Structure 1
Amino acid sequence: MGRYGNTGDAAIAGVTVFALCAGAWLLTDGRDAPAPPQPSAAEAQIGPATRLSAAPGLPPSPPDRIRIPEIRVNAPLMGLGLTRAGSLDVPPAAHKNLAGWYEAGTTPGETGTAIVAGHVDNSEGPAVFFRLGALKRGSTIEVDRRDGSVARFQVDAIEVYDAKDFPDEKVYGAASRPELRVITCGGGYSRSTGYQGNVVVFAHLTGSA
């Protein structure tokens, strides 16, 4: 499949994005500010009917921008690789309205599991995915692709996991249809270590423009 093929699905298995989770803002100036919303248990169920409604996969094309209207996300995307330690790299924390995608894996809209990650906050306050945990099943995610197309996804579930219980295969494993994962920090919070886990959005392709 080449650089932008879905052969990278398996390569990221076992990788977490805990590097996103320092909680820099809450560790400094955000002491009295509200914490980011966390998904409820009601949003963590993927219905069987939803599994049948994915659109056919699109040709590989790198993404340029992600939009999630319900939580007012409209952000450019940069390519992410793996660190020397084997963890997923993260966008520069100083750029609060910036997300990244795992460019050695599936491109968003292509058959397989595409990965997008971004910070929940930085030292100045909320960042690009601060409200990711407030999403609801059925919400829309749009990804602008470099070939001029727009991949449209529907949210199937929003879940939160402790770092020690992060389900690598469920989140990063290969998929037989076009799927998207959007990941940021979440779960419990400690001033000494930051956030203790991750919020993960599961979505599938419904169409393109």
Structure 2
Amino acid sequence: MRRRFRRTGSPGNTAIAAVTVCALCSGMWLLRDGTGAPAPPQPSAAQAHTGTGGHGAAPSAAPALPPSPPARVRIPAIGVDAPLTGLGLTDTGSLDVPPADRKNLAGWYEAGTTPGETGTAIVAGHVDNADGPAVFYSLGALRKGSTIEVDRRDGGVAVFTVHAVEVYDADDFPDAQVYGSADRPELRVITCGGGWSRTTGYQGNVVVYAHLTGSR
């Protein structure tokens, strides 16, 4: 998975906005396999946002946590249990990504919100690499109500509940909705998705929206 990002400024909030699809969204495994390998699952319309309140989710049932860098992300419903590495910005202002050869490694935007504190935390990872499915290959199969757990370096665990899973074409990616500030602890988990072309790779992104509902 790769999608480049650039930082955009807004008062009191560090946000990121997507600008273009790049090499790690190419679906190299599908291209190399040559045997009709199945594309990663995509979310159904039933998993999209509902209601008229923007995010369409119930208020958080848990108070915000103090800032602490995350160490690991677990999504039991799709078998994810992966370490997290910090991601910075490249010289061109795009968000860096985990090394392509470490397919079970995810990353988080370390200049932004840490998972569990008030605001929007960003986690991103590959959908596949040249050898096959990667950490977020099954992200599009996640359903509302699923749990995401983030181990924090302070020894605690932030527990999030998924309230929407959507797929967006690159040309229609809703920057403000995905990366904008929030008045409660929220999490976005992002990988590549949508249609796939042998010439241009994946055509968009799968985005999971979740909010903090517990901690331990």
Same fold, TM-score > 0.5, yes or no: yes
Q: Which residue, out of 27, 36, 39, partners 2:31? A: 27
Q: Whose relative contact order is higher, 1 or 2, with alpha carbons under 8 Å and at least 6 apart? A: 1
Q: After TM superposition, give the deviation of residue 82 of structure 1 in Å.
A: 1.4
| Alignment correspondent of 1:103 | 110
Q: Which amino acid letter does the alignment assign opposite residue 27 of structure 2?
A: G
- Structure 1 CA distance, aligned partners of 2:76 and 2:11? 29
Q: After TM superposition, give the deviation of residue 53 of structure 1 in Å.
A: 3.2
CA 61–17 in structure 1, closer or farther in 2 if over 3 Å, else same = farther
Number of equivalent positions: 203
- Structure 1 CA distance, aligned partners of 2:19 and 2:151? 25
State the SS of the aligned residue for 2:89: coil
Residues 1:14 and 2:21 are matched in the alignment: no
Residues 1:80 and 2:87 are matched in the alignment: yes
| Alignment correspondent of 2:202 | 195
CA 88–31 in structure 1, closer or farther in 2 if over 3 Å, else same = farther
State the SS of the aligned residue for 1:26: helix
**Cα deviation per residue 1:26-82 (whole Å; 9 max; x = unaligned)?**
111254111100000000024567332341110000000000000000000000011
State the SS of the aligned residue for 1:11: strand
- Structure 2 CA distance, aligned partners of 1:17 and 1:66? 26
State the SS of the aligned residue for 2:46: helix
CA 46–59 in structure 1, closer or farther in 2 if over 3 Å, else same = farther
Contact 2:127/2:192 (CA < 8 Å) preserved in 1? Answer: yes
Given the two structures, how large is their TM-score scaled by the length of structure 2?
Answer: 0.89
State the SS of the aligned residue for 2:33: coil
Q: Report % sequence identity.
A: 72
Contact 1:30/1:125 (CA < 8 Å) preserved in 2? Answer: no
Structure with more strand by fraction: 2
Bigger mean CA offset, 65-74 vs 47-56: 47-56
Contact 1:9/1:112 (CA < 8 Å) preserved in 2? Answer: no
| Alignment correspondent of 1:38 | 42
CA 88–28 in structure 1, closer or farther in 2 if over 3 Å, else same = same
Contact 1:143/1:152 (CA < 8 Å) preserved in 2? Answer: yes
Q: Which residue, out of 152, 155, 162, partners 1:155? A: 162
- Structure 1 CA distance, aligned partners of 2:197 and 2:73? 30
Structure 1 unaligned spans of 5+: 1-6
State the SS of the aligned residue for 2:14: helix
- Structure 2 CA distance, aligned partners of 1:198 and 1:80? 18
| Alignment correspondent of 1:65 | 72
| Alignment correspondent of 2:6 | none
Structure 2 unaligned spans of 5+: 1-9
State the SS of the aligned residue for 1:133: helix
Find runs of 4+ consecutive structure 1 residues off by over 6 angstroms: none
State the SS of the aligned residue for 1:196: strand
Q: After TM superposition, give the deviation of residue 9 of structure 1 in Å.
A: 7.6
Q: Which amino acid letter does the alignment assign opposite residue 110 of structure 2?
A: E
- Structure 1 CA distance, aligned partners of 2:33 and 2:146? 32
Contact 2:15/2:181 (CA < 8 Å) preserved in 1? Answer: no
- Structure 1 CA distance, aligned partners of 2:175 and 2:12? 11
